[in-house]
Structure 1
C-alpha cells in the first residue's frame, strides 16, 4: 500500500532533481577505489560533507 503522502515525495524529488544531481556529481567523479590513500580520503571527506549538508550528523 502506498502512503498518502507519496505524491508529496514524488513532487519534491521532481522539483529538486537537478540540485540532487549537482550535489552528487563531485562524489561520483572522485576516485573512491584507488591505491592512493589521498584519493580514498578525499572521497570520504566529500561524502561526509554531503551528509552534513543533508542534515545528518557524522563526526
Structure 2
C-alpha cells in the first residue's frame, strides 16, 4: 500500500495591524492656527507608523 500524503496547508495570513486595521494608512484631523490649534472638518491621510504601511502587525 503506498504512503498517503497529508493535504498541503495554506500558510496562515499575517495578523493585521490594530492601529490601521490592515489598510496601511491612517487619517487624522487637520489642525490650524497658532496657540489654540483649532480642528477643521478636514482629514489628512498618511502612512501608518506602527506597521510602516504594510498593514501587518509587527508583534
Q: TM-score, normalised by structure 2?
A: 0.25
Q: TM-score, normalised by structure 1?
A: 0.25
Higher relative strand content: 2
Higher relative helix content: 1
